[in-house]
Structure 1
């Protein structure tokens, strides 16, 4: 019992440190939050996907020694395509920026997104991102081995860290929506996202050779 809390905390800290960097998941949550479209559904979907990946890492991949070369190659290829397309979309928004039109309640007059589209988009940003598999599943799964029989508690802490992070990110995007709604902010965000996506895709390409 005395070791449970430090082990849980270690898992939480590692998980949050891995996902704090602005990545595809975080950028998507941020945009959905600023648009006030299915924000909490997106947050819960991303958190659920992370929990699944953490579970695979702690309960499976760590013991198997990581991903096979074929599976890793398939994930990298799918991730490059996904990141390239999303980067192009962000670049188009960078070239033609526009602030979102907020209503009296802080919502936005943006193209509506259905619940199904919101869930599928969040799942795509989670499972088609090779970094999510490598960092969340493999790294956390491997780190959990150091805790022996406490690996499950470590994984639970990592899962809790993911939930806490996405809830905090969603809340921040929701409450800061009005302050962040300007052409300069949106253009900077989209430019950063485009560079990040293409840079990640390029890095993945070099990893194949």
Structure 2
């Protein structure tokens, strides 16, 4: 039980801060015509987080910390994808200006974007692998299993909650009319994240 609670608290601390991944899942809850249509983003983000958590627990953090080239490649992919996603978000059609089918992204786009913000965000990857991986070394066998399950459970529940929350806000007319501005703010946030990665890599 102690390991399970520790895993829950640790996972919540990592996943709660506002980030590109959270913004994207929330956005899909708002823009998709139904909650079911937002599930590809939720499931993909959850699976990616599950993969990162499993890799962290299995000790991949040691590998990441040992190879500078791997970090550079991860950083490069992250910057490219954030810039691309920012451009897509900035130019997306505002909610309420057209029908649901044209304003919402396709299932393929949801999966691609969710993978990119989950696996090609260096800070998210290194935080997950570093923090969760480091914490997991204090547990063995069943304790490590419960610690891992807790981290994964929080991840799935959080992304489902974000989509449901987005869906609830999306039904409000005033909020939907403001979503064009929210898209612009999200795009700027993505570009600033990319710039921060560039800046932090040069220090």
Q: Same fold (TM over 0.5)?
A: yes
Q: Sort the TM-score into its range (normalised by shorter chain).
A: 0.7 to 0.9
Task: Check if 1:28 corresponds to 2:27.
Answer: no
In the alignment, which residue of structure 1 is the partner of 2:164? Answer: 171
Gaps of 5+ in 1: none
Instruction: Provide TM-score, normalisation by structure 1.
Output: 0.82
Partner of 1:182: 177
Paired residues in the alignment total 196
Aligned partners of 1:154, 1:63: CA distance in 2, in Å? Answer: 19
Partner of 2:130: 138
Range with greater deviation from structure 2 (189-198 or 50-59): 189-198
SS at match of 2:137: helix
1:14 corresponds to: 10
Q: Deviations over 1:17-61 (max 9, x none)?
A: 211222121111112111226211211111011000000001122
- In structure 1, what is the equivalent of residue 198 of structure 2? 205
CA 1:57–1:121 in structure 2 vs 1: closer, same or farther (change >3 Å)?
same
Alignment root-mean-square deviation, CA: 2.3
Counterpart CA distance in 1 for 2:41 and 2:187 is 21
* 1:146 partner SS: coil
Conservation of the 8 A alpha-carbon contact between 2:78 and 2:116: no
Please report how far the alpha carbon of residue 137 of structure 1 lies from its aligned counterpart in structure 2 after TM superposition: 2.0
Q: 1:48 corresponds to which residue?
A: 47
Unmatched 5+ stretches in structure 2: none
Q: Distance in 1 between matches of 2:94 and 2:184?
A: 13
Note the C-alpha offset of 1:138. Answer: 2.1
TM-score (structure 2 length as normaliser): 0.84
CA contact (8 A) 1:25 1:122 kept: yes
